[in-house]
Chains A and B, each alone.
Chain A
């Protein structure tokens, strides 16, 4: 990596080249992007895909107040005070988002939630949360994207459209690249798409199993049966829309493969059945190892959603949907996940980091979010920022801020920022909020000790 500044004729706009910068727009986290930066503007993003280019070119500095309190411009200091006050006064706060920020900031958000005894959830709960539950049920036979590149000769894309959502997955990691054991690249690989739609991905693969909607579980179960050599009847075709003969053919190919991979998306996790669908797909990959090497990997969306899973897991033991109010973590998807906590009208405050739930949660959840004290950190204006009591404008990770993100295969990757932002990072703001909260809590403890009473000031007890 190198960051070189070159003089140009525009002296106030020095030209800077950032080599091997990291794109954090999708879970591929490509770290081979060469950026040309002119002042506060990225003008070239060599190697980036169309999404990556849009990411790098559109994060220029916008003229917005550094913070808003009740919709009115405020300073960072005022907003940090107000945010800390809201969180300390809350009886049941929820922290949500976290998938588009650095692991360093995620750690602080976890700490804040722990200090105030709140609920901790990330966007994982509404993307691959069901897969997270399935991992606990059946385990995960996994590998790195590097192994896919060098070994995978049979690929099944299931319930996803990487051609549009993860464009470089094909070219950099899975379908196209030449690898050590697949020296001819695409020619050495067989690719299957399992999807209800004939998407752009369908054009890139050899076989498209266009199944009927809401039959992913049945299809995975049928394939498991075929893997075990069991006989199936025509009800499989009736349910899934895929002729049995074609399924058998695919299974033959799967057994003959040297290294197979199922790469599954949210078509699996978001459809009725959810974690059971993920379990079926993971179990199929596991079963296939009786014949040859197979893995299954979720295709992760946001740039650092995998980091969020890692940070939250290593901090609490669970990946999402956690309640810390009793002083120890309790995991219960459906109870402590944001859609549910908000949808049931339970939380009284929300700390939203780099996410826009007001745009994409169900109506009951949105209504509640609007009614409570919401704090949001986001580089861009969003619907959630509009309804928030306290809204911080932040710098953008990867473009303005260094730090660590995890690629979708759990590989940590450093960020190489392009230019400075006048706005503060998520990490800085969260750390300042945490410090305020701690100071207040410790003062309350000391005051209690002085007065001769012993009081544990954690959880949601102390008044501001």
Chain B
């Protein structure tokens, strides 16, 4: 049984600047594909800076490198820039609003066994 984390996809200024350079630039791809995590959580799960993890929920599963979100994130919370990876974990259901649950997604994490 792995812990349940709450994933908050959002915007960053780096995502904004690299988006203008192009969606297919390395800068943009790195920015939208990197997961940020609380340092204590990383230590507890024995995840090294930049190490790849699998993150999944009932809607999808992605593999992303993980790094510490400085002091931005309290334990249990994860952050990733909006993009292809976050969308894969998003439900299609909008609960009658037109808006899928796009922030605050329950996800599970595991280290990729090497």
Contact = CB atoms under 8 A, between A and B. Distances in A.
Interface of A: 25-26, 50-51, 53-55, 57-59, 121, 125-126, 129-130, 133, 161, 163-165, 167, 196-199, 210, 213-214, 266-267, 269-272, 274-275, 301, 320-321, 333-335, 337-340, 343, 356, 359-366, 380-383
Contacts of A167: 13
B11 A333 contact: no
Given A196-B8, A213-B8, A363-B59, A320 B98 contact: yes
Contact of B94 (A165, A334, A366): A334
Contacts of A356: 23
A133 B22 contact: no
A394 to B, nearest CB: 16
Contacts of B16: 25-26, 50-51, 54, 164-165
Given A50-B13, A359-B83, A383-B23, A198 B71 contact: yes
B14 to A, nearest CB: 8
Given A50-B17, A340-B98, A363-B90, 7 more contacts: A25-B16, A50-B16, A51-B13, A214-B6, A267-B103, A270-B101, A360-B84
Contacts of A333: 94, 96-99
A241 to B, nearest CB: 9
Given A126-B99, A126-B102, A54 B20 contact: yes
Contact of A59 (B12, B20, B96, B101): B20
A380 B17 contact: no
Of all A-B residue pairs in the complex, the 5 with the closest CB atoms, nearest first, are A337-B98, A334-B96, A343-B92, A54-B17, A125-B98
Contacts of A54: 16-21
B91 interface: yes
B98 A126 contact: yes
A199 B99 contact: no
B104 interface: yes
Nearest to A340: B94
A301 B10 CA distance: 12
Contact of B12 (A25, A164, A361): A164
B100 A339 contact: yes
A408 to B, nearest CB: 15
B8 A197 contact: yes
B23 A359 contact: yes
A340 B92 CA distance: 7
Contact of A210 (B23, B59, B74, B97): B74
B102 A270 contact: yes
Given A59-B20, A380-B23, A382-B23, A213 B102 contact: no
12 contacts: A25-B16, A50-B17, A57-B20, A126-B102, A161-B10, A214-B104, A266-B102, A334-B96, A337-B97, A337-B99, A339-B100, A363-B90
B77 A213 contact: yes
A361 B87 contact: yes
Nearest to A216: B104
Interface string B79-113: 10011101110111111111111111000000000
B50 interface: no
Contacts of A126: 98-100, 102
Given A165-B11, A362-B87, A51 B17 contact: yes
Contacts of A380: 22-23
Nearest to A269: B99
A199 B71 CA distance: 9
Contacts of A266: 10, 102-103
A210 B75 CA distance: 13
B87 A125 contact: no
B95 A334 contact: yes
Contacts of B23: 356, 359, 380-383
A299 B16 CA distance: 16
B95 A364 contact: no
B75 to A, nearest CB: 12
Nearest to A58: B20
Interface string B33-52: 00000000000000000000
Nearest to A333: B98
Contact of B97 (A57, A133, A163, A363): A133
Contact of A130 (B11, B24, B97): B97
A313 to B, nearest CB: 15
Contacts of A363: 59-60, 87-88, 90, 92
Contacts of A57: 20
Nearest to B16: A51
Given A50-B13, A359-B83, A363-B92, A121 B103 contact: no
A449 to B, nearest CB: 40
Contact of B103 (A58, A125, A270, A320): A270
Nearest to B79: A197
B81 to A, nearest CB: 10
A337 B92 CA distance: 12
A124 to B, nearest CB: 9
B78 to A, nearest CB: 10
A381 B20 contact: no
A129 B13 contact: no
A339 B72 contact: no
A275 B95 CA distance: 10
